[in-house]
Amino acid sequence: MTADEQTGEVNVVKRAAALWASEDDLTSDDSVETIQSYRVSELRKLTFVFVCIAAAVLVAGLSITYGTMDIGFFECYEVIWNHITGNVGDKLIDYIIVDERLPRIAAALVAGAGLAIAGCVMQSVMKNPLADPYTTGISSGAGFGAALAVTLGISFVAGNYAIVVNAFVFSLIPMAMMLGVGKLKKASPTMMIMAGMAIMFMFNAFTTVLKLQADPDALAKLYSWTVGTVADCEWSEIVMMFVVVAVGVVLTQIFSRKLNILATGDDSAKAMGLDVENMRIVLLLLISLVVATVVSFTGLIGFVGLVAPHVCRIFVGADNRYLVLSSAMFGAVLLEIADFVGRTAIAPATLQVGVVTAFIGGPMFLYLIMRQKKSTW
């Protein structure tokens, strides 16, 4: 470097440092333009969130009007209104709309939102695009709990809720083990997800052993639970799921900025003031409760938790302030569409929602990852 060049470089540096040391001017043309451009990008992301919310409402509204029995579009809403006002006309139609169609639509929306938010948080916390309720072993734990109840009759409660309660309790075991690993010194997100996968294989092996010993009836019942469905949910169960999922979504949204900080790496996040270990545990505990609740009522519905956050990342990026809510709403839409297709595509027979999510979600996801221009992960 010549003396002139060196002097030039020093001047560049002095100017840069002086700029940094200068007072912030919020009113300069440059600043106003940058602020406006940032607000536009915020608005674009918020628009996607609202589009997802609107789509959830629209899809739910439309799917009420379709089914094996031909009931007119406006008649469906009239029936709902009459039911609310206590003015029930045709009891059969009232039963079909209020007790058959509405619960499964509500269950699909709530379960879809719960699974999607779980995937979103797990992927962000563990910094792994493949993290979801399956790869963290939570679904396998639930599956083993259900298998115990169905094949050996071992359950925490008797009666109709034997599978549900078993699934819930056993889905918490992988979570507890994973959090235990997280508490170890130097535990990294990669170590946690590897622990989750080890737990998944262990529970799957136990379940396979139980299946091998099971009689055909028990096997059929277990199989139907493991494929996953929202058709059997009752209103009391949906309310329970809704409360847990709503608390999960609200708290995760509140923590969304901290999720962004966490994504920069453990040392970096700590240096920005975040209590990384505790934050990770709080988020995983919260999300595990959401997944355990959903899975115990619906059975194992795959794909939504994995795919919904990735699709939303394509539209809103990795900023969790927008990703959390849009994932929840997109998951709700995805599961609702899957259930709608499942009950109408080959009517009067129905397809399990878990099968349809993979059929619809798979190609859609492949298409989106192939056409995206910017790398998101």
Partner 1 sequence: MRIDIENMDAGYGDKKILHGIDLHLEGPGLTCIIGPNGVGKSTMIKCMNKLLTPTSGTVKVNGRDVKEMSRKEIANVISYVPVQTDDVFAMPVFDTVLIGRANKSKWKTSPQDIVKVKKALEVLGLTELSDRPFNELSAGQHQTVAIARGLVQETEILILDEPTSNLDIRHQIFITSLMHEIAVQKNVMVIMISHNLNIASMFADNIVLMEKPGRIKQIGPANDVITAENIKDVYNVGCEIVIHQGRPVMLLDQILN
261 touches partner 1 (CB under 8 A):
yes
E-assigned strand segments in 67-125? none
Coil, helix or strand at residue 277: helix
260 touches partner 1 (CB under 8 A):
yes
44 touches partner 1 (CB under 8 A):
no
List of residues 6+ apart from 185 with CB closer than 8 A? none
Among 81, 184, 268, 346, indicate the residue that binds partner 1 (CB under 8 A). 268
Q: What is the DSSP track for 199-249?
A: HHHHHHHHHHHHHHH--HHHHHHHHHHHH--STT--HHHHHHHHHHHHHHH
282 touches partner 1 (CB under 8 A):
no
Pick from 191, 147, 174: nearest CA to 291:
174
CA-to-CA separations, 355 to 145, 150, 171, in angstroms, rounded: 22, 22, 21
Among 101, 104, 280, 313, indicate the residue that binds partner 1 (CB under 8 A). 313
Beta carbon nearer to partner 1, 221 or 317: 317
270 touches partner 1 (CB under 8 A):
yes
Coil, helix or strand at residue 97: helix
7 touches partner 1 (CB under 8 A):
no
30 touches partner 1 (CB under 8 A):
yes
Among 2, 4, 18, 92, indicate the residue that binds partner 1 (CB under 8 A). 18
Beta carbon nearer to partner 1, 25 or 90: 25
Q: Return the structure tokens found at 32.
A: 């106003």
Pick from 320, 319, 323, 310: nearest CA to 377:
310
57 touches partner 1 (CB under 8 A):
no
Binders in 316-355 for partner 1, by CB under 8 A: 317-319, 321
Q: How many residues bind to partner 1 according to rule CB under 8 A?
A: 51
Beta carbon nearer to partner 1, 322 or 340: 322
Contact 361, 307 (CB under 8 A): yes
369 touches partner 1 (CB under 8 A):
no
263 touches partner 1 (CB under 8 A):
yes
Q: Return the structure tokens found at 42.
A: 């915020």
Q: How far is the CB of 192 from partner 1 (least distance, A)?
A: 14
252 touches partner 1 (CB under 8 A):
no
Among 235, 264, 347, 366, indicate the residue that binds partner 1 (CB under 8 A). 264
Contact 53, 312 (CB under 8 A): no
List of residues 6+ apart from 64 with CB closer than 8 A? 76, 77, 80, 97, 101, 102, 105
Q: Which residue has the tokens 């809103």?
A: 316
50 touches partner 1 (CB under 8 A):
no
Among 7, 31, 47, 213, indicate the residue that binds partner 1 (CB under 8 A). 31
Stretch of 94-102, 198-206, 311-319, 353-361 lying at the interface with partner 1 (CB under 8 A)? 311-319
Q: How far is the CB of 139 from partner 1 (least distance, A)?
A: 22
E-assigned strand segments in the chain? none
Binding site for partner 1 (CB under 8 A): 1, 9-10, 12-14, 16-21, 24-26, 30-31, 34-35, 38, 42, 123-124, 127-129, 185-186, 257, 260-261, 263-265, 267-268, 270-275, 313, 317-319, 321, 374-377
